[in-house]
Chain A
Amino acid sequence: MTARFAVGDRVRIADRTPPAHQRTPAYVKGQAGVVVYLCGAEGQPESLGHGGDGTPPMDVYRVRLAQTDLWPDYRGSRGDTLDVEIFEHWLDPAER
């Protein structure tokens, strides 16, 4: 399976709450950032968490977010970032 996104692509993390186990923390939902690393494919947590086999495996990306986007009242430097691992089915292309 070919990864949908490449390093440098700008992506947005889906803002949804499926009634299932998931590995997308609430505080990053709806945020846009940049792909910095391709982690390889892993079983889908929404299936694995409920006795499923996790197939098809999904590519996982490290997405870099700006702290000043995450927290409007962020007290730190403007360049501070947060990297988070997100499964491909949680990502959409985002505008630059």
Chain B
Amino acid sequence: MADHHHPHPSRADDPEPTTHHQVMGLALRELLIEKGIYTADDERARIEMLEAASPANGARIVARAWTDPAFKARLLTDPNPAIEALGLDPFNAIHVVENTETVHNVIVCTLCSCYPRQLLGPQPAWYKARAYRARVVREPRQVLAEFGTHVPDDVVVRVHDSTAELRYMVLPRRPAGTEGWDEAALAALVTRDSLIGVTVPTMP
């Protein structure tokens, strides 16, 4: 690398200085453990559970709804017991919104980044970004188009701003040509983004 002349300083060994809020967070955690409110192992188990949650859970729910009309009816009217019956723990109150021939749903949290994390795993970085949060409520069709989702003019776009305690999940439409498919094959079509509503499941 004889041509590599331009100088650049090496990166500092230490990270950025710890902020006030980080110090407060660490102090609170130490106090809670010291006072026996919870143990470090409880915390580890909780993090493990959160990281183990993935969009595969949502895909399972959707595939069941596509193949079992009674389950779908329960999922849309009283979702938590229906989801728990599949052995999943939604933690928050869930609200499932159904895409139909006439309605396309998309989820956002403009105030922060509320998301059914315990069910679907961590939210994608773009979901937390200000650009998505500000734009999807103002120009949803343009944002959807950037995800490759072109919603016809005669289909209503319904944006859901998750501002309180409910956590939202989209029930996408079952792709045509999947008649007779089993649940596992159907679940493989359901992506994280289609559960948020920025894309729709398609045939491979």
Among B138, B142, B155, B159, contact of A83 (Cβ-Cβ < 8 Å): B159
Are B161 and A75 in touch, CB under 8 angstroms? no
Find chain B residues with CB under 8 A from A40 CB: 93
Indicate whether A77 sits within 8 Å of B164 (C-beta atoms), given known contacts A27-B110, A83-B158: no
Encode A74-96 as 1/0 by CB contact (under 8 A) with B: 11110111111111000000000
Find chain A residues with CB under 8 A from B164 CB: 23, 39, 42, 60, 85-87
**Measured between alpha carbons, how far is A84 from B161 in the docked complex, in Å?**
5
Let me know if B67 is at the binding interface, CB within 8 A: no
Majority-rule SS of B interface residues = loop
Are B158 and A39 in touch, CB under 8 angstroms? no
Among A23, A39, A77, A85, contact of B157 (Cβ-Cβ < 8 Å): A77
Among A25, A60, A79, A82, contact of B111 (Cβ-Cβ < 8 Å): A25
Among B139, B140, B163, contact of A85 (Cβ-Cβ < 8 Å): B163
Let me know if A47 is at the binding interface, CB within 8 A: no
Q: Within A1-30, which residues are at the interface with B (CB < 8 Å)?
A: 23-25, 27-28
Q: What are 21 A-B pairs with beta-carbon distances under 8 A?
A: A28-B161, A39-B164, A39-B165, A39-B166, A62-B166, A74-B139, A75-B141, A76-B141, A77-B153, A77-B157, A80-B140, A80-B141, A81-B157, A82-B160, A83-B158, A83-B160, A83-B161, A84-B161, A84-B163, A85-B164, A86-B163
Please list the residues of chain B having a beta carbon within 8 angstroms of any beta carbon in chain A: 93, 95, 110-111, 137-142, 153-166
Please list the residues of chain A having a beta carbon within 8 angstroms of any beta carbon in chain B: 23-25, 27-28, 37, 39-40, 42, 60, 62, 67, 70-71, 74-77, 79-87
